[in-house]
Amino acid sequence: MMIDLPLIWAVIIAVAVFMYVLLDGFDLGVGILFPLAPDDESRDRMMASVIPVWDANETWLVLGGGGLLATFPHAYAIVLPAVYLPVSVMLIALIFRGVAFEFRAKANTSRKWWDRAFFFGSLIAALCQGFVLGAFVQGFKVVGRDFAGGPFDWLTPFSILTAVSVVAGYALLGSGWLIQKTTDALRDWCYKIVRGLFVIVLICIVAVSLWTLQLNPIITERWFRWPDILYQSLVPVLTGALLLTLLWAVTKRRDRVPFFCSIGLFTLCYLGLGISLWPYAVPFEMTIHEAAAAPASLSFMLVGTLIVLPLILIYTVFSYWIFRGKITGDIQYH
């Protein structure tokens, strides 16, 4: 039996990217909400809630990049030159945001600058990721196996919409995270904004979805094909169910629920994206099989990954378990 290595790797890379979106998503979201928080003491707690885990969360981005290079090099070699500017700016934003954790704790007079670095770093990184997402879904101009477009092809009305959507989405994840990690005024404030954020994100999702259908007939055909439309019509039903659950959780003050409602919403969007773009590694230009590395390389990596990735997941869960529960005073810089 032939194992479809590119298919297996497409699933693994998709999962890695999704892990990144969820995990760094909530800590970038905390950064986006940072300047809006009620007071300085709240800001310290917001920071403390992500300090022990942000570094490992961001590592999924490195796995996404490194994994894409290793498994779908021909897609990697088209996509990254095409989104050169947003990726470069994103990396620089992540630098400022990453060092802000340390420097803020050590700073005296320059503290407010590192607060700004944390906020703008998070916001700009999220915007850039949204631009990359929008540009990716729209597709790139490709000649042979090279990107052949211009340096600003990624900047379109559609990618502006996706950029705003990603910022809203991360803010939603961030507020959900903070509700389950905090108490008192900060939690009350998050409860106040989480419903609004959820609705904004829903509007974004509807707008992006309708626009995506217009982008390419392949996508429209895929979504309205009988009988697939039956399963796919579950998506709006499930989304509605998530909204009702969230409203219930906010009224009843169920601290754990809003975060998982946001994760549910992201999962549905991500699956929807997968349905639209399958089986392309570079949308509408190159399939995963055309973009894949040599079978010898894919199988060499698969052996190790099947052992190492579960271990990573185990100790990641372990680390979240160590830092479980509401933020107390003990997580801070020495």
Partner 1 sequence: MEFDPTLLSRIQFAFVITFHILFPSFTIGLASFIAMLEALWLFKKQQYYLYLSKFWTRIFAISFGMGVVSGVVMSYQFGTNWARFSAYSANVVGPLLAYEVQTAFFLEATFLGIMLFARNRVPKPLLAFSAFMVAIGTLISAFWILSANSWMQTPDGYELRDGLVQVTDWWRAIFNPSFPYRFAHMVVACFVTTGFVVVAVNAWFLLRGTHKTLARYTLSMTLWLLTLLVPLQIFLGDQHGLNTLEYQPSKVAAMEGHWETEKGAPILLFALPDQEKETNHFEIAIPKLGSLILTHSLDGTVPGLKDWPPQDRPHVATVFWSFRVMVGCGVLMLGIVLWSVLLRTRKRLFDNPLFLKTCVLAGPIGFIAVVAGWFTTETGRQPWLIFNVMRTFDGASPGVPAGSVLLSLALYAATYAIIFGAGVYFILQTVRQGPR
Restricting to residues 104-123, which ones interact with partner 1 according to CB under 8 A? Answer: 106-107, 110
CB of 315 to partner 1, least distance (A): 5
What is the DSSP secondary structure assignment for residue 110, as one 8-state letter? Answer: T
Whichever of 95 and 234 has its CB closer to partner 1, that residue is: 95
In the list 4, 41, 88, 112, the residue contacting partner 1 (rule: CB under 8 A) is 88
In the list 26, 34, 76, 170, the residue contacting partner 1 (rule: CB under 8 A) is 76
The Cα 81–Cα 35 span in angstroms is 34
In the list 26, 101, 118, 119, the residue contacting partner 1 (rule: CB under 8 A) is 101
In the list 81, 215, 222, 239, the residue contacting partner 1 (rule: CB under 8 A) is 81
Buried b (16+ CB within 10 A) or exposed e, 94-110: bebbbebbebbbeeeee
Helix/strand/coil for 107: coil
Annotate 227-262 with DSSP letters as a single string.
Answer: THHHHHTHHHHHHHHHHHHHHHHHHHT-TTHHHHHH
In the list 21, 94, 168, 282, the residue contacting partner 1 (rule: CB under 8 A) is 94
Q: How many residues bind partner 1 (CB under 8 A)?
A: 71
What residues contact 56, with CB distance under 8 A and at least 6 apart? 23, 316, 319
Residues 308-327 that bind partner 1 (CB under 8 A): 308-309, 312, 315-316, 319, 322-323
In the list 3, 11, 91, 206, the residue contacting partner 1 (rule: CB under 8 A) is 91
Whichever of 39 and 102 has its CB closer to partner 1, that residue is: 102
The Cα 163–Cα 334 span in angstroms is 37
CB of 256 to partner 1, least distance (A): 20
Query: Which is it for the CA torsion 264, 93, 75, 153, positive or negative?
Result: positive
66 belongs to the binding site for partner 1 (CB under 8 A): yes
Interacting stretch for partner 1, rule CB under 8 A, among 31-39, 92-100, 200-208, 258-266? 92-100
The Cα 32–Cα 26 span in angstroms is 10
The Cα 313–Cα 168 span in angstroms is 27
Whichever of 14 and 85 has its CB closer to partner 1, that residue is: 85
Give phi and psi for 189, each to the nearest 5.
-65, -40
In the list 96, 120, 154, 280, the residue contacting partner 1 (rule: CB under 8 A) is 96
CB of 179 to partner 1, least distance (A): 21
String marking each residue 186-215 x if it binds partner 1 according to CB under 8 A: ------------------------------
Residues 26-65 that bind partner 1 (CB under 8 A): 51-53, 55-56, 58-59, 61-63, 65
Note whether 119 and 32 are within 8 A (CB).
yes
How many CB atoms are closer than 10 A to CB 10?
23
Residues 142-181 that bind partner 1 (CB under 8 A): 145-149, 151
Q: In this structure, what token pair is assigned to residue 204?
A: 């974004």
Residues 278-307 that bind partner 1 (CB under 8 A): 293-294, 296-297, 300-301, 304-305
